[in-house]
Structure 1
Amino acid sequence: MVAWLLAAALASPLAAAGQDVTARAKGLMRAGAAFQPQARALFEQAAGQGSGPAAYYLGLMLKNGMGGPQDSAAALRWLELAARRNVAPAMFIVANMLLATDEAQARYWLDAACDLEYPEALQQKSVALGEGMMGYAHNEEQSFLYLKMAAHAMGHRPPEP
């Protein structure tokens, strides 16, 4: 019964509409600078309705000044929202944005992305362990393990959000 209700909710017009808006916005974002303001507005609409992928793309657009002015603070807020919604690439970007100001929080998000087997996070943690950076203790054995995990994850990369 619960599985049927979940399937019905995911197939609902509201859920499909959110996915459609995000897909349409991704197409506009990639179509060129003239379409990016519209993409940014659509991502903001979908992100405001709870879409983690939309929050991720909105954060990227704000971070890179696509479709409007660059705004690092707003970018971080939207990317953190996406990270809290289990968007692994957002976790990785948030970790790197926080690295200079909050090493503990940066490590938290890097570890979270590693838990989801995000290849770039696994690779970065391998380097951090090998060099004793980001508050990780120097550990060659763990560094090698994370490098192997990163290589494996590269071959099994999930689709983009």
Structure 2
Amino acid sequence: MADALDAAAQVDQAKALMRSGEAGGPQARVLFEQAAGEGSGAAAYYLGLMLKNGMGGEQDSTAALRWLELAGERQVAPAMFIAANMLASSDPARARQWLDAACALEYPEALMQKAIALQEGTMAYAPDQKQSALYFRMAEHAMGHRQPEP
């Protein structure tokens, strides 16, 4: 239990560094990587974001996707959603799996994206207006019950 608390404290410290400006970025990356190695899905998510956006060091989309997928495996819905979007053009089947996983966790942005995909018949979804309307309603409901950030 102490390790989980230590990892959570490390994530909080790293988030503060990440948000403090450029100077804190490299240290935040190190702390996120350590906490992610200890099993923190939130740390893997934030490390993936930093790598994707070039915060605290070089931008690295490949490493970002690895960390975001790891966070997704640890049930971090925003990571699933971002991974889905990163994969949309290169691996639609994997993108759809991540989008569906984020929808299962009622992540509002994923529900909205799936509603649109069902409406338009994109992302390898067959056009289905009834399902699209259902996902729009689910997204609207989920917006009112948004989970706190990881």
Which TM class, normalised by the smaller chain length? over 0.9
Q: Does 1:50 align with 2:28?
A: no
Which residue in 1 is equivalent to 2:136?
147
Which residue in 2 is equivalent to 1:157?
146
Query: Any runs of at least 4 consecutive aligned residues in structure 1 with deviations exceeding 2 A, and if so which?
Result: none
CA distance in structure 1 between the aligned counterparts of 2:55 and 2:125, rounded to whole angstroms: 35
Q: Which amino acid aligns with 1:46?
A: A
Report Cα offsets for 1:53-108 as digits up to 9, x if no partner. Answer: 00000000000000000000000000010000000000000101111111111000
TM-score (norm 1): 0.92
Which residue in 1 is equivalent to 2:66?
77
CA distance in structure 2 between the aligned counterparts of 1:56 and 1:13, rounded to whole angstroms: 21
Q: Does 1:135 align with 2:124?
A: yes
TM-score (norm 2): 0.98
Asked which structure has the greater RCO (Cα within 8 Å, sep 6+), the reply is 2
Which structure 1 segments of 5+ residues have no match?
A: 1-11
Indicate the percent of aligned positions where both proteins have the same amino acid.
Answer: 68
- Higher CA-based Rg: 1
> How many residues end up aligned between the 2 structures?
150
Which residue in 1 is equivalent to 2:19?
30
Q: CA RMSD in A?
A: 0.6
Which residue in 1 is equivalent to 2:99?
110
CA distance in structure 1 between the aligned counterparts of 2:124 and 2:66, rounded to whole angstroms: 24
